[in-house]
Every structure is written in structure tokens, then in C-alpha cells.
Structure 1
Amino acid sequence: MPGLVAEPTGVRKRKLDDTAARDVALKSRKAPKTAAAGESTEEKVLRLEEQVLHGREHYNNIVELQRLQRNYETKPRAASLAAVSLCRVFCRLIAADELRKRGGASDADIQIVRWLKARLREYVQSSTEWIGVPDPAQESTALTLLMRIVKVEIAQDVKQAEQAWKTESSTFWRVLKALLEKTEAEGARQEFVERYVEEHDDVRFYTLFVVKQILATSHLDREAATRNAIELLTQIEDVPKSDDDLQHWYGQPPSEGHKQLRSLNAHRKVAQEAWLTIFRSKLTPDQRKRIISVATTHLLPWFSTRSELLTDFLTDTFNASGSLALLALNSIFYLITEKNIDYPEFYTKLYSLLDEDIMHSKHRSRFFRLLETFMSSSHLPAAMVASFMKRLARLSLQAPPAAIVWVVPWVYNMMRQHPSCTFMLHRPYHPAHAIWSAKSEPAEDGMNDPFNPSEGDPNLTGAIDSSLWELESLQSHYHPNVATLAKILGQQFTKDKYNLEDFLDHSYGTLVEAELKKEMKKEPVVEWEIPKRIITTEDGGLDRIGGLLRDALSVA
């Protein structure tokens, strides 16, 4: 029999046992409403919800609410109202421990707990089906309601909260599984990262953990899951830099004994494991390109203490041809300069990227910026520097004007930095030099360029013995800006260096626009005579052009 508790006023009040206390927590202050004739859908949903919260005898209303939720295509408003109502119902039931078995519980109570868990699984399943639908409002509603369930589940004791994050049957796990499974859920993945992952350190930690587990153990379509995981993880921009940055929690703040969530090394480790799981998959070129494009800002910070784990992925990407190698340049150079990773063939590979395609690539400006950085050292061999200048000069003969206007000032800067290469601009006649000795009369017979464009090693191309005659020919370029700029190499080097950023990001459009905006100092004198006839002669016959036109028409 329940015990008695003495009140300060001397009034004796009966103490409620645990079962009665839970019933009071679930019951509304007012008696549950009954069905009224002509009630609206909203009134019906609220009535069913209120009855569920009033007592166990109305738990079957959950089934009716779930039926309304499944009818989204025919009755979207009723389905949304039912989904929100069910979320409130399950949040109250979870908070009141109605979904947990207790020691000494009767068989009837155990059956009710099992039944409620099954209804919760059905609700989560129905809500995850809304992720990836064409309607963004429906998708956003489902994600919000599911994460509200997650918040209540992780608000329990430490053991239950850990299970709510990590177990395969948990709501959080099933949300991540839906985000990785459904290719059409781009909006949901972006919203999930922006609202939850970026804002809460525990959500980010367990997202990385669950993504790794799903990719390693799940039977999902591996290619689609990997693609969606890359899309999800590459949107995570907020990488913590110290333990003090770990202060924002979606659930209860971790206790002092739970040091994992408060450790930056633990966050880095779980991120590294998630990314390494992705790297072990068969990545397509597009997927590699997506990762490499954000590697410096989104990927390398997670591997700051163990950069060697990235070496294989980055070198494999760098060894690939085309734009992939170009995009991997910056990350490889970072590992070489900051982490002392040895890559002896770096400049040989960089030299191989200088081809016709790079001058027309959409990544041209990015590559030129990186090339300026890589070639900025004054300790590079003169033969190597000469090879890079000669290769770019040769490519300039077929390059668009927007690329040439960067190459010329870059060559100027390299000449200033490496004076031993200035012979390539002006090499007077000397019979003992290899460039002249091959021909006895070079002015009449011409001469062979000692530069070997097919040589892959920039130290062995022979460019240092050649000349930059290609840049001399650019002084006769059809575009006036290019012709004027190329003439700076034929003048005295009075300028210290050019700011190459001023010559980047040009295109045909910008060059033409700049030319049209120039003020005309003197109007050109134009004189012409308007012809009286075009294809006929004065006596009415056909002239030469008219005869050709007649013959062409007769053949047609």
C-alpha cells in the first residue's frame, strides 16, 4: 500500500507510486474530447492526440493518426498535421519512459511497450520516406520532426543516449541512412548540415561515426551511398581547432567522464575514419574532383596531425591526367612544404601538365596562381625554369589572348628572379655556341631550335640553350593588347615585377570590353566610294563576280 508523506502544514497526503506518476504526467488536465459532428481535420487530429496523452485506453488513436500521415498524396494538409501530432505524442511518451521496459513489469505492460516501439518504428519509416520527395516543404518537415524525436531520445540517461546515437535501430541512424540512400535528397542533406551538423558538435561527431558505419556495413547501393556521403561531408566547413571549440551540444552536455565528445583528437579520428572509408571505395573522376576541390579547406584540417594518411589518395589523384591532377596540385604542395612529405617528381609532373588543354581550361586562372607559387623559389635550377618559360612561350602561339596576357608578364618576373635565363631573350652571334654552330650561315639557312618539346624531364629539354622567339612573334599578334604587352620583353627591365593578379580572369569578352571603352584620341580618316553596281557592268551585262554567281546558281 502506498506510503504517506507528511506536509509542512501537517496535512497527510498519499504518495503516488511510479505507475500512477507516469499516468499523471501523460494525462491532460481536462477530460479528453469526444468526436463532434462536422469537426474539421485539424480538430480531429488534435482530439486524437489529446486522447492519446490522456490515457492508455486511447493508444489505438496512434494507428488512426498514422493512417492520416500515409495519405499525403491525397490529403497533404491532414498528413502534415498528423505527422506533427505524432511527433508530439512520441516525444511525450519517450520523455515519460513509456517505451522502456522496467523490472517487475507485468506481461500487459511489456506488450504495450513492444507495441509502442513498433508504432514508433512505423512513424520513423513513414517520415524518412518523405526525405527525397519533390516537395521541399514536406521534406523539411520530415527532417525537423525526426530530429525532434532524436533530441528526446538522447535526453535520457548516458547509456540510453549513447544507444540513441549509435545503434542501427535508432532514429538518428535511420535518418542518416535515408540521407545516404536517396540521391534526390540534396536539399535535405544541405539542411541537415546547416541546421544540425554545423551548429552542434555532438551531431557532427556522431554523423561522421554513423556515415563510416553505414558505408562499411550497410547493404545499400555502394556507389550511390558513397556519392551522397561525399556530398554530405564536403559541406561540413566548421572544423574545430581546439578542445575549447567543442561547446555546442544538441543533447545534454557530456559529463566529465565522457571525454570522447570533448576531445578534439577523438573528433579528428572519427572524421579520418569516415573519409578513409570513402577513399577505399571505387571513386569516379567526378567524385575525386568533388573531394579535391575542397581538400585544402574541408579535408586537410581533419588530417592535420596525420597527413600521411592522405598521401596515397592525393598522389593517385595527382598522377591522373587532366583536371584531376591540376586540382590536386595545391594539396600535394601543402603536404610537401608543410608536412615534409617526399614527392621527388613533383616538378616533372607539373611540367607535364603544361599542354594545349591547360590554356583553354576553365581552371586556367587557378592553375596560373598555383604555378606562380610553385615557381617562386629562387633556388630552382635555371635549366628547369627555362623549360617552363619555353614551354609556355611555345603554347602561347596557339593560346587565346586571355592566357597570353598572363604568360608574358610571368616570363618577365621569372627573368628578373633568374638573371641567368636572360640569354634566352638576347643571344648575340658566337660561332662556339651550340645554337649557332649547327649552321654556317644562320641568317640564310635558318637554324634548329635545341629545345626538345617531347622531353618529359624539365632539366633535360635543352631550353636554356634556346631562345624565346615565340614571344618575339607575339609582337605581331592580331590583338593589340597582346602585341603591346609582348613588347615589354624587348625593352629595358626597369620595372621590379608585375602583379600577376591584374592579368588573371580575363576572357575574350573582357578584352573586347576594355578595347571598346578606350577613349579615341584621334578619329581615324575613312574614305570610300560607294559602288553603283555590284555584279553587273555599265552596259547591263554580268561582270566577273556576276558570272561566277550565275555559274554557282546553275550548278545548284
Structure 2
Amino acid sequence: MASVKRCNSELKTLELPKKVKLKTLGQQLLNSRGHINNLPILLSFITPNTPPHYALESLLSLQSFFIPLLPQLPSSTPHSKQSNPGPETVYRTWLRSKFDQLVNSLIDVAVSTSQSQDALREVVLDAIMEFVKVGNAGKFHSAIYHKLLHALVHSDLGVDEILLDLLATKYFNYIDVRYFTYISLEKMARTVDGKEDKSRSPDVEDKSQLPSMELSILKMHNLLSHIPPLEASEEKLDHEMWNGLGIFIGKSNSKEHVNLEAKQAKSHKSNEKVLSSRNVAKKMKSKFTKAWIAFLSLPLPLDVYKEVLVMLHQTVIPHLSSPIMICDFLIRSYDIGGVVSVMALNSLYILMTQHGLEYPNFYNKLYGLLEPSIFIAKHRAKFFQLLDSCLKSPLLPAYLAAAFCKKLSRLALCVPPSGSLVIFAIVHNLLQRHPSINCLVHQERGAGTTRETSAGDNDNSENAKDTSASRDLSDDKPGIDHFKNEESDPKDSNALRSSLWEIDTLRHHYCPPVSRFVLSLENDLSVRARTAEIAVKDFSSGSYATVFNNEIRRRVKQVPLAFYKETPTSLFSEFPGWTFQFNDEDHQEASAKKQRIV
């Protein structure tokens, strides 16, 4: 109504003769069938190039004319054609064709890029949704709604944000609108790759005029992300629907949609046969799943790909009818590497821990993600928390836990101080959970295993002989680290033959929090009693700024002071040269010269 008032205010600037003519044509059309020829004239003003005040005046008249007639009009695609149709049938068929023309014109105005149509856009969308509500013999007209969404997805960039906001705020709260939105998005996802879409408007024939596929995928993602989550629909016992007759009604009511007024009078009887909330939620979940599965099968652009991975574990996986269906998508994402693998780790971990997904190469891929760039990535906080959770199981073999300890310790030498802190927290937790790798704390010469084996594997004699024969003689020399940092397979990294000398090196780190953390770690390990694990989330999102802010807020108990009984005369006491010659008279003379120069 607010949009109608805004547009009515613009009507004051109309040329009076033309305004009176349009209003007169509309009144004549509403009062008498004899003025039916006014209908094409009014339709000619519903175009993107028509001034908004003219289009609004015509739309108000046409909407008032068609709404009462829609339940009586034939289908857009009649199943059978009569050989000798009567005059009334011909008249209603002609009206139906004009109504279809009106709908196409309204959709063109809604997705028009003309800024002059912004004031009219909300009124046009309301009119289209009103036709959707009762356009199919009083039932929800899904074809018109699909045509609207199709035009929205294939429109120019910029228009979708306005219509999406209007749809989300006014219509996505209705469960039947969401239901048909999922159906339409599934259809478009299967045809957006360039195949022919039978539901596409016949006016759009040149595919070269359509936007790129990447832009269409971006708009489909915007539509999916604007739809409210399913929790609200599952908790409500009385679902609010845009169409009063509803789509979740038993089959016994399917033949009762004869007259809209009669049906509204019997609405209290039909409410008794509406499906239960559990069945409605089940149907919604099925359509939600099909829409997302079809969308994820598209070649997503990189920016959309990242946005999907970020939201997948919160807004998609909990509402899928079978979350395991997206395992292929997540495994492909996890195999890409880099930041994409980091973003896919969260959802993949949920499938593994909560839905029984088996992924044998999971830890090998996770081991490969440990690179210096991960410590400055945007989503590093969640990654480190998941890394700590993935290494929490006591069933991990010793070689795997040792490999992660060594890899993280080696990274601590080249990452920022905030990264060193989170590494110490994870290493501390690993040493507490897996006592079998405590040998890494102080590895004596020759005490390490000669060859790492996985849990449950037995070395046969031939492999043992080959290994001993190929062993380098320098392995027995002191100061040799047997850990292979460049090895991608944790089993072949020789981590159990090494030690955590990197942690000991960082006792003298230039950043005080790092050196203090190393000392606390040594104290915890020196006490054989089991200590509490460190919360990785307290360090996972750290940076130079957080380390500095925490340090300046820290209460210092001891301050380093330099006290001299006599004023020093040289920079280094043991170096006789470069002495300081300080004279008060020379200093005063230099100051006076400086003032004169200024």
C-alpha cells in the first residue's frame, strides 16, 4: 500500500487529459463487457518504457478486471480443443491470452533496469503475486511464479537485489511460496548450463542476450540464501500459506476447488484435512534437498564456491533429508587444496563424526594442509579448532600423532608469534592425549625406532633387511634430524625417530608470550601427572594485534632497570675506543647556535 501511495503521488504530475482518458477506459472496462476493446489499449501501457504513472493507472484497472475472472478462465495450455467452440469459450480463451500477455508484461517491468520503474516495482510484484495466489482456478499458480523467478535469475545485474529483498521480506515467510521456490530453483539448476528450458518465456529466444552462466548461478545462490531456514516451519503447528486453499491438503479435497468464494466459506472444514506439521516438514525437506543437490552440481564460480562452503555446515547440512548425499561435493572440495580445503573441512568433519562417512585419506589431506600460509588465512580460527578436534581420538596411531607434532613444531620456526602460540596449544594437547609419543620430548641418540610402522602392521624379514641395508651411515651421527618435512605421507615422515627440538629452540624467542608459553609447556611435561588440555579457541584467532594488546594489558611485576654508580664513558666497557666527551659549555654553545639558525 505504501508503494501505491507513492505512485499515486506521482499521478499529480500527469497531464490531465491523458489521466482522465486512462481512468475512463478502466472504468468502462469494469462496468460493461461492451467496452472489452479497452483491454488491449490498457495493456499497451504495461511496458518497461512507459512512464510509471501511466503504467500504474492501467495496472490498477486491469488487476481489478482480471481478479474476479481468473477462476473462470481456461488453462493456459488446454488439454483438448473443441472442433466448434462456442462464443463464450472463444471469449474466455481470448481473455486468457490477454491475461498471459499482462503477466509477461508485468514480469518485464519487474526485472527492468530502468531506474524510473523503481517506484512501480513493488506494486508490480504485489500484482504478480496476487495472480499467483488465485490464477490457477483459485489455487497457487506455480507456472507464473516459476516464470517470475526465471526472469529474475536471467535478468541484468542489480535488479535481483531489489526484488530479492521484496520477496524475502514479504513472501518467503509463507511456506507454500518457499515450497515452489525450491521446485523452481531445482528446475533452473538443471537447465542453467545452456539446455533448453521449456518454461522460458517465448519472447526470449536469443541466448546471446542472456547473462553469463556464472551470473545466473550467483543469483540462484542469492535466492537460496534469502529463504528462511527450516527450523521455523518445523516448530510451527499452524503453517502460514500465501494461498488460502494450501498445497498440503489431503487428496479428498483435490476436487473441491471449483469456486473461490465457496471454498473460502468451507475453509474451516478443509482445515481438518490439512497434512500434519511433521508431513509438511518432510515434504519441505525433500524439496530443499533436491534444490541444493541440483545447485551444488553446477560449476560454481570461486566466490560463490567459498560462500557455499562457509554456510554449508550451518544452514544446509542440518536440513537435508540425507546429508550424506553431498559427500562427493565435499570430498572434491577437500581434494582441491589450499583455502578451499580448509573451508570444506568443517562440513566434511560433520559428515564423518555425525553421519558415518568413511574417508580413508582424510588425515593425509589434513597433514598436507599444514603450511605457513594457513596461519594468515581468513578462516584459520575454525581450522585450528577442527584440527585439534580431529586429533582428539585416542585411537590414532602413534606415527600419525608424532607426524602432526613434528610438522607443527617445524612450522613454529617460521610463522608469526600468534601462530606459534596456537601450535604450542595443539602440541601440548597431543602430548597429553597420546603418551606413546612422549619420547619426542627428549629423544636420546639411538633410542628412536629404526623404521616407523602403522598400528597393526608387522615388519617382515625382507623389508627389515632392505631398510637396514639402505640406511644412511650418517643416521647415527649426533645432531641429525630424521624427520622428513617435505614428505606428504605422515607414515613415511620418520617423526618417531626425531624430537621436538624446535620447541626448545623457541625458549629464546623474541616475543615474550612465546618464550613464556614454551616454559609453561616444559613445566607441564616435566610433571608426569596428567594436566588439563589447553583450549585452542583461545589462541586460534590471534594476530600481531592481539598479542600486542594482551602484552600491554599484562601487569608487569619486574621491570628491567639499568643502574650505574658512575656515568658510563664508553658504549662497551671492554672496548677502549669510542668514548663519550661531554662538556656543558660546548652543549650550551651548540644550543645557542641552533636557536639563531631557527
Normalising by structure 1, we get a TM-score of 0.75
Instruction: Give the direction of change, closer, same or farther, for the CA distance of 1:57–1:525 in structure 2 (3 Å limit).
Output: farther
Q: Write the deviation string for residues 275-324 of structure 1: whole angstroms up to 9, x where unpaired.
A: 333344333333332322222233223433x3342222221122112222
Q: Which amino acid aligns with 1:91?
A: I
Q: Which amino acid aligns with 1:255?
A: I
Instruction: Name the CA distance, whole Å, in 2 between partners of 1:329 and 1:355.
Output: 15
Give 1:486's aligned residue: 518
Instruction: Name the CA distance, whole Å, in 2 between partners of 1:525 and 1:153.
Output: 86
2:36 is the counterpart of 1:59: yes
Of the three residues 138, 146, 163, the one matched with 1:188 is 163
- Range moving further from structure 2, 398-407 or 277-286: 277-286
Instruction: Name the CA distance, whole Å, in 1 between partners of 2:568 and 2:186.
Output: 77
Instruction: Name the CA distance, whole Å, in 1 between partners of 2:293 and 2:492.
Output: 39
Instruction: Give the direction of change, closer, same or farther, for the CA distance of 1:78–1:132 in structure 2 (3 Å limit).
Output: closer
Instruction: Name the CA distance, whole Å, in 2 between partners of 1:45 and 1:400.
Output: 72
Q: Write the deviation string for residues 55-109 of structure 1: whole angstroms up to 9, x where unpaired.
A: 2233344444444443667x334434544554343323325x3567999997543
Give 1:286's aligned residue: 303
Point out where structure 1 has 5 or more consecutive residues left out of the alignment: 1-36, 533-539, 541-556
1:51–1:58 contact (8 Å) kept in structure 2: yes
Q: Which amino acid aligns with 2:183?
A: F
Counterparts in 2 of 1:33-182, with a 5 A limit? 39=16, 46-70=23-47, 75-94=51-70, 97=72, 107-129=86-108, 130-131=110-111, 133=113, 135=115, 137-154=119-136, 156=137, 161=139, 164-165=141-142, 170-182=143-155
SS of residue matched to 2:524: coil
Q: Which amino acid aligns with 2:146?
A: W
Instruction: Give the direction of change, closer, same or farther, for the CA distance of 1:456–1:111 in structure 2 (3 Å limit).
Output: same
Instruction: Name the CA distance, whole Å, in 2 between partners of 1:432 and 1:525.
Output: 45
The two structures, once aligned, show a CA RMSD in angstroms of 3.8
Q: Which amino acid aligns with 1:50?
A: Q
SS of residue matched to 1:492: helix
Point out where structure 2 has 5 or more consecutive residues left out of the alignment: 1-13, 198-209, 255-273, 451-471, 570-579, 583-589, 591-598
Q: Offset at 1:141?
A: 3.5
Instruction: Name the CA distance, whole Å, in 1 between partners of 2:447 and 2:555.
Output: 51
2:196 is the counterpart of 1:208: no
SS of residue matched to 2:505: helix
Normalising by structure 2, we get a TM-score of 0.70
Of the three residues 324, 330, 350, the one matched with 1:334 is 350
Instruction: Give the direction of change, closer, same or farther, for the CA distance of 1:287–1:255 in structure 2 (3 Å limit).
Output: same
Q: Offset at 1:50?
A: 3.3
- Range moving further from structure 2, 411-420 or 246-255: 246-255
Instruction: Name the CA distance, whole Å, in 2 between partners of 1:328 and 1:71.
Output: 44
Give 1:274's aligned residue: 291
Instruction: Give the direction of change, closer, same or farther, for the CA distance of 1:459–1:84 in structure 2 (3 Å limit).
Output: farther
Q: Which amino acid aligns with 2:420?
A: I
Instruction: Name the CA distance, whole Å, in 2 between partners of 1:149 and 1:351.
Output: 57
SS of residue matched to 1:498: coil
Instruction: Give the direction of change, closer, same or farther, for the CA distance of 1:483–1:266 in structure 2 (3 Å limit).
Output: same
Instruction: Name the CA distance, whole Å, in 1 between partners of 2:369 and 2:304.
Output: 21
SS of residue matched to 1:70: coil
2:414 is the counterpart of 1:412: no
Of all paired residues, the percent bearing the same amino acid is 25
Give 1:386's aligned residue: 402
2:46–2:59 contact (8 Å) kept in structure 1: yes
Of the three residues 506, 509, 513, the one matched with 2:549 is 513
Instruction: Name the CA distance, whole Å, in 1 between partners of 2:320 and 2:87.
Output: 53
Greater relative contact order: 1 or 2 (C-alpha under 8 angstroms, separation 6 or more)? 2
2:328 is the counterpart of 1:353: no
Q: Which amino acid aligns with 1:482?
A: V
Give 1:28's aligned residue: none
Instruction: Name the CA distance, whole Å, in 1 between partners of 2:440 and 2:372.
Output: 22
Instruction: Name the CA distance, whole Å, in 1 between partners of 2:18 and 2:555.
Output: 72
Instruction: Give the direction of change, closer, same or farther, for the CA distance of 1:243–1:483 in structure 2 (3 Å limit).
Output: closer
2:296–2:329 contact (8 Å) kept in structure 1: yes
Q: Offset at 1:177?
A: 0.7
Of the three residues 224, 234, 237, the one matched with 2:225 is 234
Instruction: Name the CA distance, whole Å, in 1 between partners of 2:22 and 2:510.
Output: 76
2:460 is the counterpart of 1:468: no
1:132–1:186 contact (8 Å) kept in structure 2: no
1:236–1:298 contact (8 Å) kept in structure 2: no
Instruction: Name the CA distance, whole Å, in 2 between partners of 1:55 and 1:300.
Output: 57
Instruction: Give the direction of change, closer, same or farther, for the CA distance of 1:41–1:424 in structure 2 (3 Å limit).
Output: farther
- Range moving further from structure 2, 78-87 or 98-107: 98-107
Instruction: Give the direction of change, closer, same or farther, for the CA distance of 1:348–1:522 in structure 2 (3 Å limit).
Output: closer
Q: Which amino acid aligns with 1:256?
A: G
